[in-house]
């Protein structure tokens, strides 16, 4: 069956899902997006993702022409249209069609599209054995220039970090802030475990407020762990007992090596494995059914 894409109010075949070359999302990366997951016909944290989408749009003064509830309904409708039980969902809102100038006022109406498909970010072997990563040469955008808390279509900073990872022969890279603090990875938030305590960098170092990140924090708190935000330097990560990444596509994946430095024992740690199990259980009960 041909994949159906929701595009500006209607469903079209994948091959016919096209936008104008004058769309400012294409010309300037002017727009916002979200990546969402569904598990066994249940969309995980749909409301939270849509809230973040609208918050990002508000931050760049982009008006989304439908309500949050209507947007959620369209996500569900797109999943049903494609008969997907487990899916990766990409929702995108661009500034819309304008001219070759920067002026956003020239764009009369936003473009909206929703893609529902399948995704496998990392092979299962890496979840079992752990992921080697590197430190990106590219620094994270400074929050005062382009705030990483806005999940915008201008993702070149992340892509350059990903290229650094590819050049190093690994799948992911830690991105440092301009003043040398750990921010996040190119597509995931990062956590460390120290003496049983769980920490992740605060947003003011240049990281996105992750939906999966928040879920993991809540799981850890419910387990009685000391968990919180902590500004950290690279040496804090290198000296940690455990390290793992979180993200919608990645879920929770252990990190066992950073460049030439082995993390902890060099194998996924017990707390990481426990959080992975608990997160998997959570996805079976938390979400909007369809």
CA–CA distance, 134 with 200 (Å, rounded to integer): 18
The contacts of residue 43 (CB under 8 Å, 6+ apart) are 36, 37, 75, 76, 79, 89, 287, 288, 290
Catalytic residue among 14, 83, 129, 151: 151
SS3 at position 30: coil
d(CA 178, CA 162): 17
Strands 227-229 and 197-200 turn out to be: parallel
**151 counts as catalytic:** yes
C-alpha to C-alpha distance for 279 and 214, rounded to whole angstroms = 11
In order of 83, 98, 136, 202, 227, the CA distances from 214 in angstroms are 29, 37, 24, 12, 11
Which helix (H) or strand (E) segment holds residue 28: the answer is helix 24-28
Q: Which two tokens stand for residue 164?
A: 């650094």
Q: Three-state SS for 213?
A: helix
Collect all residues with Cβ–Cβ distance below 8 Å to 281 and sequence separation of at least 6.
none
Q: Are 94 and 19 in contact (CB under 8 A)?
A: yes
Q: So which residues are the catalytic ones? A: 151
């Amino acid at each position: 069956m041909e994949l159906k894409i929701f595009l500006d109010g209607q469903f079209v075949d994948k091959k016919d899902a096209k936008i104008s070359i004058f769309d400012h999302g294409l010309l300037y990366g002017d727009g916002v997006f979200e990546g969402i997951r569904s598990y066994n016909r249940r969309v995980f944290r749909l409301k939270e993702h849509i809230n973040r989408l609208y918050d990002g749009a508000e931050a760049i003064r982009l008006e989304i022409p439908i309500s949050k509830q209507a947007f959620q309904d369209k996500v569900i409708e797109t999943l049903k249209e494609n008969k997907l039980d487990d899916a990766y969902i990409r929702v995108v809102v661009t500034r819309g069609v304008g001219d070759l100038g920067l002026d956003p006022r020239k764009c009369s109406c936003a473009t909206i599209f929703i893609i529902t498909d399948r995704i496998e970010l990392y092979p299962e072997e890496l979840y079992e054995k752990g992921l080697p990563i590197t430190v990106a040469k590219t620094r994270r955008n400074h929050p005062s220039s382009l705030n990483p808390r806005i999940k915008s279509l201008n993702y070149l900073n992340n892509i350059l970090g990903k290229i650094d990872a590819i050049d190093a022969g690994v799948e992911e890279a830690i991105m440092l802030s301009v003043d040398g603090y750990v921010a996040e990875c190119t597509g995931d938030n990062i956590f460390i475990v120290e003496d049983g305590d769980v920490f992740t960098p605060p947003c003011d170092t240049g990281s996105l407020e992750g939906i999966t990140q928040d879920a993991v924090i809540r799981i850890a708190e419910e387990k009685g762990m000391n968990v919180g935000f902590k500004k950290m330097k690279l040496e804090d990560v290198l000296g940690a007992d455990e390290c793992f990444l979180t993200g919608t596509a990645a879920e929770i994946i252990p990190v066992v090596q950073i460049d030439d430095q082995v993390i902890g024992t060099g194998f996924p740690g017990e707390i990481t494995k426990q959080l992975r199990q608990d997160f998997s259980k959570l996805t079976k009960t938390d979400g909007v059914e369809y």
